[in-house]
Homo-oligomer: A and B are copies of this chain.
Amino acid sequence: MNIAGRPSAPLMSNPRADRVRDVAKLAGRPARLKTGRFVAEGPQAVREALLSHRADMQDGGTGVVLEVFATETCLERLPELAELASDVPLRLATDEVIGAMATTISPQGIVAVCRITDFSLEDVLASGARLVAVLCEVRDPGNAGTILRAADSAGADAVVLTTSSVDIHNPKAVRSTAGSLFHLPVITGADFDAVVSALHAHGITVLAADGYGNVDLDRLQDESAVRRLAPALSEEADDAAGADAPGLEPSQPRLENPSAWLFGNEAQGLADAQLAAADYRVAVPVYGRAESLNVGTAATVCLYASARAQNR
């Protein structure tokens, strides 16, 4: 097959070839650290990687995709992928080769080798970030993926993973971000104290998502809604400084202000030192019998509450 009019390269058919092994090795952290590369598996992730690559190239960047490997069947079924890959090396390979490169049981015939982009938190903050998600020792790739997707949907400006969090470039984590990894700056291996200092230096309120928090997220949302929808009432309440109007007292953080949310470890939550470093400890209410919220659910509710208050 001649891909989108390009001169055809020989079909890769040896799953034990060095080149195939090199890609497979990227499933491991040492190879990722050494090469600065990771693998996106399957049509959805590869598509988002290629779209991001194209946008970055148009902005004068170097792009995120280094190489795409795909089966002929896959490209026939999804011709737009070959089209999108028009300015990156694209090699045809057998199902067996793609299978050997990927960790997924069913990579659906396509993988992309991508560059790990080093985003700087300082740059992101200097450019006026107003909503940031910070993952503090979130260990499960699925949870990290859920939070990253929620951050993307909520229009967050960046996601930060502290040093002890899961490696977001491991294949399972990449998969669970469902392409959102390519949509917003993701800062990895960040030192917690340095992150909080930088956030504060840029005037960003640091909110800890904490089941035991003394600030209720619903209350913050109500207060924000009143300021937005009934400003006169809100001013009255400000003047009366907490009279009899429930939910209208001026209290605590304003969700519409630039904010960073801290999300903690799935078993232990945020550590005491992390809670102490936050400006406020905010609880997402649990209305049912669930003992506590899954960190992915909590993050979704928190980030959407901020996005709404900020009119993003």
* Cβ-defined partner of A308 (8 Å) among B149, B218, B230: B218
Does A184 contact B289, Cβ atoms closer than 8 Å?
Answer: yes
A225 and B146 alpha carbons, distance in the complex (Å): 28
A160 and B308 alpha carbons, distance in the complex (Å): 29
Q: A residues 273-312 with Cβ under 8 Å of B?
A: 286-291, 293-294, 296-297, 300-301, 304, 307-308, 312
The yes or no answer to A240 lying at the interface (CB within 8 A) is: no
Closest to A156 in B: B288
The yes or no answer to A73 lying at the interface (CB within 8 A) is: no
Query: In the complex, what residues of B have CB within 8 A of residue A154's CB?
Result: 287-288
Given contacts A142-B142, A184-B289, contact A294 B221 (CB under 8 A): no
Least CB distance from A41 to B in Å reads 17
Max chain B Cβ within 10 angstroms of own Cβ: one of A155, A183, A222, A289 = A289
A293 and B153 alpha carbons, distance in the complex (Å): 7
The yes or no answer to A253 lying at the interface (CB within 8 A) is: no
The yes or no answer to A229 lying at the interface (CB within 8 A) is: yes
Does A152 contact B184, Cβ atoms closer than 8 Å?
Answer: no
* Cβ-defined partner of A153 (8 Å) among B155, B218, B290, B307: B290
Does A288 contact B218, Cβ atoms closer than 8 Å?
Answer: no
A94 and B32 alpha carbons, distance in the complex (Å): 39
Q: A residues 208-257 with Cβ under 8 Å of B?
A: 218, 221-222, 225-226, 228-230, 233, 247-248
The yes or no answer to A151 lying at the interface (CB within 8 A) is: yes
Does B153 contact A288, Cβ atoms closer than 8 Å?
Answer: yes
Q: How large is the interface on A (under 10, 10 to 19, 20 to 34, 35 or more residues)?
A: 35 or more
Does B225 contact A297, Cβ atoms closer than 8 Å?
Answer: no
Against B, the Cβ 8 Å flags (1 = close, 0 = not) of A3-15 are 0000000000000
The yes or no answer to A150 lying at the interface (CB within 8 A) is: yes
Does B230 contact A149, Cβ atoms closer than 8 Å?
Answer: no
Query: In the complex, what residues of B have CB within 8 A of residue A300's CB?
Result: 297, 300-301
Least CB distance from A128 to B in Å reads 16
Closest to A52 in B: B289
Max chain B Cβ within 10 angstroms of own Cβ: one of A233, A287, A308, A312 = A287
The yes or no answer to A178 lying at the interface (CB within 8 A) is: yes
Given contacts A297-B300, A300-B301, contact A289 B152 (CB under 8 A): yes
Closest 3 CB pairs of A and B: A155-B287, A155-B288, A225-B225
Assuming A149-B290, A221-B225, A300-B301, what are 20 further A-B pairs, CB within 8 angstroms?
A: A146-B297, A149-B297, A151-B288, A152-B288, A152-B289, A153-B293, A153-B297, A155-B287, A178-B294, A183-B289, A184-B288, A184-B289, A221-B308, A225-B226, A230-B233, A233-B233, A287-B312, A288-B312, A296-B296, A301-B304
Residues of chain A touching chain B, judged by Cβ–Cβ distance below 8 Å, are: 142, 146, 149-156, 178-180, 183-184, 218, 221-222, 225-226, 228-230, 233, 247-248, 286-291, 293-294, 296-297, 300-301, 304, 307-308, 312
